[in-house]
Amino acid sequence: MAGLHRLLALLALALGTVAVSVADKTKDADLRSPTCPDPQDISPCVCTVDVQHNMDIDCSQVESEDQLAQVFSSNIPFPKFNKLVIEGNPHLTVLRNGDLGPASFQIIEMTSGVLEEVQDGALSMSYSTATRIDLQVNRLSKFPFHEIPSFTALTTLWLNLNSLPSFP
């Protein structure tokens, strides 16, 4: 009987090790291969992942600042995106602080729209990740220039064809 208890204990120990090993591999796989949020949670935005596991989100079809904020307050399991695209949007006039939730981006492209203002802190989650910010061809008259030093990886900032009164 003692042999049976030892055998069961060894079997339980072996199964526990396998379960931990499988869980660790699943966790590691999640870190290597981000998945997009549920399409229903982020609609009308569209998320894609390329072969290098870069996750991009296109929110060109959002109809208001509130809708953009709702998208980024949804369940986003991997908030580190490669690119945010909002192109030709006729609705977004202000990029408000908090509208992008916990999401960070390497590339931010909000072009050919009616954007008039980027509020202080609106891009703060991308301070350490943004390499390119492209806000060309909008109606931008307010931009938090004092935050530029906070963007530690930024190499390109495009603000041409806007309504900025000055460029410090």
pLDDT digits 0-9 by tens, 27-76:
444 444 578 999 999 999 999 999 999 999 999 999 999 999 999 999 99
pLDDT attached to residue 3? 55
Q: Which CATH superfamily is domain 35-158 in?
A: Ribonuclease Inhibitor (3.80.10.10)
pLDDT attached to residue 35? 87
pLDDT for residue 25 is more than 50: no
Please, are residues 56 and 83 in contact by the beta-carbon 8 Å criterion? yes
d(CA 138, CA 115): 5
pLDDT attached to residue 126? 98
d(CA 95, CA 107): 16
The domain ranges of the chain are 1-32, 35-158
Mean per-residue pLDDT for 110-138? 98
d(CA 108, CA 125): 12
Going by C-alpha positions, the residue among 84, 76, 147 that lies closest to residue 113 is 84
Please, are residues 82 and 34 in contact by the beta-carbon 8 Å criterion? no
Residue-wise pLDDT for 68-102, tens only, equals 999 999 999 999 999 999 999 999 999 999 999 99
Share of the chain above pLDDT 70, in %: 80
pLDDT attached to residue 149? 98
